[in-house]
Chains A and B, each alone.
Chain A
Amino acid sequence: MDLTYTPGQQAFRADVRAWMAANVPAHKLKSYDTREGFEEHRAWERTLNEGRYAMITWPEILGGRGANLIEWLIFEEEYYRAGAPGRVNQNGIFLLGPTLMEYGTPEQKARFLPRMAAGEDIWAQGWSEPGAGSDMAAIRTKAVRDGDHYVINGQKTWSTRAAFADWCFGLFRTDPNSERHHGMSFILLPLDTPGITRRPIPQLDGEPGFAELFFDDVRVPVENRLGGEGEGWNIAMATAGFERGLMLRSPARFQETAKRLVTLYRRHQAKVSPAVGEAVLKAWMDAEAYCLNTYMTASRLMAGGKIGQEASLNKIFWSELDRSMHETALSILGARAELLANGVDDPDEATRWLKGFLFSLAGPIYAGTNEIQRNVIAERLLKLPR
């Protein structure tokens, strides 16, 4: 155990900090859940890629830096410290990207990964259906083989970023007689394919963060299938592992929120009750604990370990931490917590806290509800009966 950064790691941090200082847009981008903001964020992804900072853990040949997980953590810390824009292509770079690396053919990797890193293809995800939420094995949307194509019919919902995204990955039933987690395949498809209808769904803040997708005789080439026919479930589980696991919610994000919360508390300390101080402290402690735990996991993975059921522990911890940090901030803001639009010079950023709170409410629901995660922990870690 050595909890000090090496000179090389310190130099890397300094490089990232300098690059961010020179490149992070001075003005705040519009929300990526608007058409205009979506394209602004795509441009930012292009800038990141030009600096080879779009996906630093990827191999150099794919535009990455071959960075290890500790460097990734340092990068994320500097990214959030700089207040850089949210990653509009997170479905691609954090979820599909690692899945492609593990299950994609060389042709698929070459075809999809560089465009993903450059923001040329922004990805949506297509898991849930009206009758298949937590019970993902209940998926019914069919992809029927017709020569060298699949013909897709059915419906997806809660498809994150699908309102404006270019491509979608998802799970489709390729064996019409199959049931549950058998007979499904993992398929990638352009969202401008004829036969696809998108219906954006406004989320709590009014913006279309996700959409319903209707498939009506949508033809997709067979080479767009990731992995073998009928092997989709296991691949989707790996993707879900990436989602719950290390990368999607880096600790730096929560530490930055905790730092903002501590700052907010200091500003209002004189007028809030001492109980608020303890809630702020709890938020700081939990953000730190999440960070430390991630450094431990990163160290273990770098020594050859694999991520296992701790993905479920992580997902519960960060999602409930995020919600409670925002609740604490709103309690400090008091009557100003309801402001959906504040003046530009509000040092408290009341609206940012409110929007962050609304977003945090989704955390315990997506990527497998926290109830499902608690079942996973109880059954697989504590060996309780199903």
Chain B
Amino acid sequence: MNFAFTADQLLFRDTVRDFLAAECTPADVRTLAAGEGRSAARWGKLAELGLTGLTVPEAQGGLGLTLVDLVLIAEEAGRAALPEPLIDQIGIVVPLLARFTHRPEVAAVLEGIAAGTVTVAVGHPADPYVADAADADWLLLGRDDALHLVPRGKVTLTQEVSVDPLRHIAAVAWAPDNTTLLGEGLDDLLDHGALCASAQALGLAQAMVELAADYARTRSQFGKPIGSFQAVKHHLASVQVAIEFAKAPVYKAAFSLAQGLPRAARDIAHGRIAAIDAAAAAARTAIQVFGAMGYTYEVDLHFFMKRAWALAGVWGDRHFHVSRLQHLVLSDDAPTGADATFGPK
């Protein structure tokens, strides 16, 4: 029993954090939001860092790392409100495609992903829109319990506008056929999506608390910084508590899913609910601390709030995961108690 990341995992996390702090500043995000929305230059650098191939098997040119490594990186992507679809790709698409490397076209797609030259968008039938579909080469989609890998040319997109100016979403019309069919895995698709959304929510929540704390240190009223008032302090401290106690459930979910444990569904749902709640509380509190400024487009807070709001609805929203977890925990035959925590089910 060791509930800790390795020194290497933490070092890699720190490297990514430093990279994004320099290359994906809120000012960069703001600039992109007014223009293309995606930075090809940054994508190239992410590939150079090995991030596009983080979870791609070594045989396909990746680093062959697991969801336990990925979860820390996803948290950093959230912290920076990274606009590019890195996490969807290495946290959802790659782990699922990696089950089908015996198919030459899938192996080739994975090689392209690792190299940073191929992108695959991903959607679940429960969600009406797919993110980043227009720029993708392929789409990983579900239909009737099965996964399909569909070339971009075989789908028809209807673009929609997200509250998050950096999320490019579209409704996708397509028809499955024998050439697109990969195999089973729809439940796993949802769980991977939920894990990635949870980890990003943790990072977004922390970023919002830090933005609000920065503001509270500098904004002065009644002759002193508003951060010296206990009402403001206690709001932010409560959010920090919620964030801290959402982390371990999300990390545990990453481990359980990576190991394919039967309890993964339970762990994913717990992490998802805790992360959604922490991010919602962070957004609600941060805008309150910013006061009227928080309600404007002029401060950067809104990019983080909007990403958090958008991610709260996809890959199973709060209600979905609450019902799922109620069934898994409160049913008469469900395991409860301390010795069930790390048990198999």
- A interface residues, Cβ below 8 angstroms from B: 1-6, 9, 13, 70, 77, 80-81, 251-252, 255-256, 258-259, 262-263, 265-266, 269, 277-278, 280-281, 284-286, 288-293, 295-296, 298-300, 303, 310, 313, 316-317, 371, 373-375, 377-379, 381-386
Choose one: B3, B232, B246; the contact of A289 (CB below 8 Å). B246
Interface centre among B3, B225, B329, B341 (most CB of A within 10 A): B3
10 new A-B contacts, CB < 8 A, other than A4-B342, A278-B322, A317-B245, are: A281-B326, A286-B245, A288-B341, A293-B244, A313-B245, A316-B237, A382-B233, A383-B217, A385-B225, A385-B227
Given contact pairs A3-B255, A285-B325, A377-B240, A251 touches B338 in the complex (Cβ within 8 A) = yes
B139 on the interface (CB 8 Å rule)?
A: no
A374 touches B238 (CB 8 A): yes
Q: Are B213 and A258 in touch, CB under 8 angstroms?
A: no
Query: How many interface residues does B have (CB within 8 Å)?
Result: 50
B244 and A310 contacting across the interface, CB-CB below 8 Å: yes
Least distance between B96 CB and chain A CB atoms (Å): 22
Interface string of B274-289 (1 = CB under 8 A from A): 1000000000000000
Q: Are A277 and B332 in contact (CB under 8 A)?
A: no
List chain A residues, Cβ under 8 A from B216.
384
**Chain B 231-266 interface residues, beta-carbon cutoff 8 Å to A:** 232-234, 236-238, 240-241, 244-249, 251-252, 255-256
* Contact of B236 (CB < 8 Å), options: A5, A371, A378: A378
In contact, B241 and A285 (Cβ under 8 angstroms): no
Once the chains are docked, how many angstroms separate the CA of A313 from the CA of B244? 8
A286 to B248, CA, bound (A): 11
The answer, yes or no, to whether B68 is at the interface (CB within 8 Å) is: yes
Within 8 A of A (CB), among B187-236: 209-210, 213, 216-217, 224-225, 227-228, 230, 232-234, 236
- Nearest-Cβ distance from residue B55 to partner chain A, whole angstroms: 16
Instruction: Decide if A379 touches B249 in the complex (CB within 8 Å).
Output: no
Q: What CA separation (Å) do A298 and B341 show in the bound complex?
A: 16
Closest 5 CB pairs of A and B: A378-B233, A292-B248, A384-B227, A374-B237, A77-B338
**Is there an interface contact between B336 and A289, defined as CB atoms closer than 8 Å?**
no
B307-324 CB contacts (< 8 Å) to partner A = 322
> How would you classify the secondary structure of chain A's contact residues: helix, strand, loop or mixed?
helix
Closest to B233 in A: A378
Are A384 and B228 within 8 A (Cβ)?
A: yes
Query: Are B251 and A258 touching (Cβ within 8 A)?
Result: no
Determine how close the nearest CB of chain B comes to the CB of A58; give it in whole angstroms: 21
B292, CB-defined interface residue at 8 Å: no
Q: In the bound complex, what is the Cα–Cα distance between A81 and B274 (angstroms)? A: 26
User: Are A266 and B230 in contact, CB atoms less than 8 angstroms apart?
Assistant: no
**Considering only CB atoms, which chain A residue lies closest to B68 in the complex?**
A1
Q: Is B168 an interface residue (CB 8 A)?
A: no
Q: How far is the CA of A296 from the CA of B244 in the complex (A)?
A: 11
Partner of B341, one of A255, A313, A382: A255
In contact, B339 and A2 (Cβ under 8 angstroms): no
> Is B330's beta carbon under 8 Å from chain A?
yes
